[in-house]
Structure 1
Amino acid sequence: MGWTKEQRYRRVEDVNQVELQNLQTRVNECTWRQTFHIQPLSGLLNDPNGFSFYHGEYHLFYQWFPLGPVHGLKYWYHTKSKDLVSWENAGIGIAPDDYYDSHGAYSGSAIEYEGKLYLFYTGNTRDENWQRHPYQCIAIMEKTGQIEKLTHPFIRDVPEGYTNHFRDPKVWRENDTFYAVIGAQRKDKTGCVVLYRSSNLVNWTFEGELQTDLGTFGYMWECPDYFELQNYGVLMFSPQGLEPKGDLYHNIYQSGYVIGSKLDTITHSLSHGSFQELDRGFDFYAPQTMVNPDGRRILVGWMGLPEIDLPTDKNGWAHCLTLPRELSVRNGKLIQRPVQELQALRRQETEVKGVLKNTKNMYEEFKGVSYEMVCEFENNDAVVFGIEFRAGDDEKTVIKYDTVEKKVILDRSSSGETVGEAYGTIRKCFVNTKKIKFHLFVDTSSVEIFINDGEEVFTSRIFPRENRNEIRFFALSGSTTFQAKKWSYV
């Protein structure tokens, strides 16, 4: 259906219970509802926000339009967890009900201070001519879980030289000083990040633009996140407007990072290497990180992208979040591994090993719709080898390694109902290796694949029919040995 402006900006509080119940029924009837990923009760989920640990629990908010699978009036929806595995819905965290967020509570971050959790977000407003004006806003959560917004924004105006595409504050602390990076667009329609400073989280001073080596690099940088890890400085952001280049930048918008020396907060300069994509799959955007109590840097991303239709739209919902990933640095790049807590999801274990030579094999009890699987290949002289999963009849999703190109390839051209075909059905990346490990987390309508213990990751939504549960191992033009272990999740 086409959504009018009025429909997109309805408040959920103004909708009658019959309409909400009918929407919930449509959502619950969907065969692609996930089993172990965070997903919306109804409507559209997008950016993760306010990811933090406070008062003994992980808190994770996300952008939410409750009334349908479109980008409408955004709320912050609140989920919480004690273990990063089981998440409890805690209801609306921030509602867009003030003059400074009248057209949406947009993305932001969280930080604990003086026993309270401060939530920073962008309030979106529109005037009578539908011109955008952003405000940077604060809400404060008490240990009881009660959240109250401050009555005034902490940044009311966009600095000179930038457009009203100015959003997504990410806050951190260094000693007694707080800093915030905000995604921005210069007046010449190029993207960048700006820096603010505060001593008390309420009064902020504009410090200037972060000085990077990227020059002109897309037209808007969304969802910036600066952090330090293993003595490196990392700037993570989601640039819009990059043109495809080889195997890179084939999604509608990209997410990635630069890594190098720590940010100089006096000169605002960041010395770094080249921009690197965080995820090689089809569906990954707007990631956010936090540090947990034992010092691990943990990332969660939106398993989706703006402006892409999904088969779940007809059931009144769209998108989910990725699994939490622990970050580390190796050889100048971020390594992403599924957090160890996820092993608590494992149920029945099945194992198989063998030699594949110009063949495709299936094994008894090696099948499923919702599971974790680790598969290692070595002693290869096959030209191509890999795995077909969520397979059956003419449907399959394929992860494989081409030993000639030295590339990992994810192919969802036959995965079921199609998604984003205008941006291609294959994703590739270069991995020079003799042995390869594929670590898959397969859910009802998604897959996250960690390559060689997090050297690369492919995240994608897939929409096969319900009974497509086969797993097939194959080798073409030669042989390979393999061993695989699978854990069912339901």
Structure 2
Amino acid sequence: MKEWTQEERYRVLQDKSEIAELYEKIQTSDYRQTYHLQPITGLSSDPNGFVYHKGVWHLYYQWCPWGAVHGLKYWYHTTSADLVHWRNEGVGIHPDTIYDNKGVHSGSGFSADDKLYLFYTGNHRDENWVRTPYTCVAELTDQGQLIKHPEPLFGPHPAYTEHQRDPKVVYDKDTERYYILLGAQSQELKGRVLIYSSASLLEGWTFAGELKVPGFEDLGGMWECPSIERINGKDVLVFSPQYTTLPHRGPSTNHNIYLIGQMDFSKLTFTAEGDYRHLDYGFDFYAAQFAANVQEEDKAILTAWIGLPDNHYPTESEDWEGSLIVPRELRIEDNRLKQAPISGLSQLRGEELALDGRLPRVCELELTTTGKDNLDLAFFCQEGDKGGLRLVYDAQEKVCHFDRSQMEQRFNVAIGEQLSVPLEQELTSLRVFIDRSSIEFFFNDGEATFTSHLYPTATETGLKLDQGVQIRAWELKSSVTDDFIV
């Protein structure tokens, strides 16, 4: 694995010609995705600026162009008319001011008064490499021009550590004010959300206080990427607690969870109606973000990074890594989130497939079963049904156990290769979306989900099913341009 110097990681991209050879190189990768967003070169990580504006969905992602390494970050811009078909628009925000001289870090989009605004964390470092995070804003004009506000909205709060980032902007009708939720860490190394407030979107921001979430004061050492959305009269708070292990999640210290409850901005209090739940139970799911300005009140739209901080993946040797999940529609049923792939995704279906024990690298599967019997399934197994990604269902406990330790390409072994998905209902249906380096499971019409990177080799082509499992399969067409637009 390449050892990156600080100079290499934080090199400024001057011209697209500097990465043209790298772009051509990675086009030959066997693991380039077909219908998932991915970087044109280098590394993609957190989704940013996800917003619906004037008939167009805008979605950015964190991008380091030089290779599969976290270094100088840009926002890369993509757009869609339907959340299914995406096109590359080029770099959305450059790190080109004193306030973001070492990276444009995560944030959100907001549509107001026919204008589109992007709120982000400016990562400033001085000559001694001391970090100062600034909360910044830029406007994207209808002509595609980005205009950065000349000064940050505010700098870091001195009562917290340097970890203050990922602004999420919301408007509260009850108080008639705008609020910014900021992921933070207390001096006691506890995860927190800071709240800033203003009557105006572009000025007058003041520190309102710390978000109170009774019962969860000691959960994690940093709350990254806080995002909040109202669905049918209830509020959903999503965040990524770091620096902590959670029950049944192995040694991993990076997670993505949600709470359902009520948000009172006048008291800066989120009152949860029960314990937290995992937003996704898979190995590789992080930094989830709600889309802003979704028109329907009964659902939210969500995306996330297929990956985890500090993890490493096989395509790093090819100088690229990263992908985003298929956007999901979220609704609340029985006081929990139900997640489904975006409804228009069926547009990508080609002909229905007769699998005959072989599993295509790009496809959608629908499996049905009675839910009464134990199951032992394998995806991308070898001849003789050996190996593969194993899914074992315990019908009595209503738990699905995953094991990817038998795949030929193993990675992040120290973080764990076995995880479980607890279900409240018997497992009767399972939708599976397979792309060239990822797999996403939706259990019982979205009762739970499981997302993982997966890198099958030429000998891993099989599908093992138990008797009693019925299956339908479709090939899926490409929906994301991989054009070299910088």
TM-score (norm 2): 0.92
SS at match of 2:269: coil
The CA deviation string for residues 149-206 of structure 1, in whole angstroms up to 9 with x for no partner, is 11110012x2242111100000011234211100011111111001111222112121
Q: In structure 2, the residue corresponding to 1:6 is in which secondary structure?
A: helix
Q: Report the secondary structure of 2:372's partner residue.
A: coil
- Who is 2:308 aligned against? 305
- Equivalent position to 1:451, from 440, 443, 453: 443
| Contact 2:228/2:235, CA 8 A, preserved across alignment | yes
Match of 1:10 in 2: 11
* The one of 468, 471, 474 aligned to 2:460: 468
* 2:234 maps to which of 232, 235, 238: 232
Residue 467 of structure 1 deviates from its aligned partner by 5.3
| Residues 169-208 of structure 1: pairs in structure 2 closer than 5 A | 169-175=167-173, 176-203=176-203, 204-208=205-209
CA distance in 2, matches of 1:241, 1:406: 30
What residue identity is the alignment partner of 1:255?
N
AA of the residue aligned to 1:374 = E
Contact 2:250 / 2:416 at 8 angstroms: preserved in 1? no
Label 1:5 to 1:419 Cα distance change in 2 as closer, same or farther (>3 A): same
1:406 pairs with 378, 393, 398, which one?
A: 398
Partners of 1:89 and 1:163 in 2: CA distance = 36
Specify the code of the residue in structure 2 equivalent to 1:60.
Answer: L
- For residues 346 and 358 of structure 2, the distance between their equivalents in structure 1, rounded to whole angstroms, comes to 19
Contact map agreement 1:29 1:315 (CA 8 A) in 2: no
- Secondary structure at 2:460 match in 1: coil
Structure 1 residues without counterparts, runs of 5 or longer: 352-362, 475-479
- Deviation, structure 1 residue 404: 3.7
Counterpart of 2:256 in structure 1 is 255
Which residue of structure 1 lines up, in the alignment, with residue 124 of structure 2? Answer: 125
Match of 2:483 in 1: none
Q: List runs of 5+ in structure 2 lacking aligned partners.
A: 478-486
- Secondary structure of the residue aligned to 1:481 is coil
Give SS of 2:264's match: coil
Deviation at 1:129, TM superposition (A): 1.7
**Distance in 2 separating the partners of 1:461 and 1:154:** 37
173-182 or 75-84: which moved more? 173-182
Distance 2:27 2:426 in 1: 45
* Contact kept? 2:169, 2:178, Cα under 8 Å: yes
What amino acid does structure 2 have at the position aligned with 1:87? W
Output the CA distance in 2 between the equivalents of 1:235 and 1:333: 12
| Contact 2:102–2:123 (CA under 8 A) maintained in structure 1 | yes
Which letter maps to 1:9? Y
Alpha carbons 2:371, 2:428 under 8 Å: kept: no
How big is the alpha-carbon RMSD for the aligned residues of Structure 1 and Structure 2?
1.7
Question: Residues 379 and 93 (structure 1 numbering): CA distance in 2 closer, same or farther, change over 3 Å?
Answer: closer
The match for 1:51 is: 50
Secondary structure of residue in 2 paired with 1:71 = coil
Q: Could you tell me how far apart the structure 2 residues matched to 1:211 and 1:294 are?
A: 28
Higher relative contact order (CA 8 A, sep 6+): 2
Instruction: Output the CA distance in 1 between the equivalents of 2:253 and 2:414.
Output: 9
Aligned position for 1:161: 159
Q: How many residues align?
A: 467
Query: Is the 8 Å Cα contact of residues 260 and 271 (structure 1) preserved in structure 2?
Result: yes
Between 1:98-107 and 1:189-198, the stretch displaced more is 189-198
Tell me whether 1:437 sits opposite 2:424 in the alignment.
no
- Match of 2:220, as an amino acid? G
Counterpart secondary structure, 2:254:
coil
Q: What is the CA deviation profile of residues 258-296 of structure 1, one whole-angstrom value per residue up to 9, with x for unaligned ones?
A: 1112x1111111111212111101000000012433443
Q: Tell me how far 1:130 sits from its aligned partner.
A: 1.1
User: For the residues of structure 1 that align with 2:244 and 2:163, how far apart are their CA atoms?
Assistant: 17
How far residue 28 of structure 1 moved from its aligned partner, in angstroms, is: 1.3
The one-letter code matched in structure 2 to 1:178 is Y
Structure 1 residues 22 and 435, CA gap change in structure 2 (3 angstroms): closer
Q: Deviations over 1:41-65 (max 9, x none)?
A: 0000000000011121110000000
1:380 positional shift: 3.2
In the TM superposition, residue 396 of structure 1 has moved relative to its aligned partner by 1.3
CA contact (8 A) 1:210 1:270 kept: yes
- The Cα shift of 1:37 comes to 0.5
> What amino acid is the match of 1:418?
R
The equivalent of 1:385 in structure 2 is 375
Give 2:415's aligned residue. Answer: 423
CA distance in 2, matches of 1:189, 1:163: 8
1:287 is matched with: 288
The one-letter amino acid of 1:193's match is V
Cα 1:433–1:257 change in 2 (3 A) is closer
For the residue of structure 2 that corresponds to 1:31, the secondary structure is: coil
> Larger strand proportion, structure 1 or 2?
1
Contact 2:360 2:461 in 1 (8 A): yes
- Alpha-carbon spacing, 1:433–1:294, altered in 2? closer, same or farther (3 Å): closer
* One of 335, 338, 349 as aligned partner of 1:335: 338
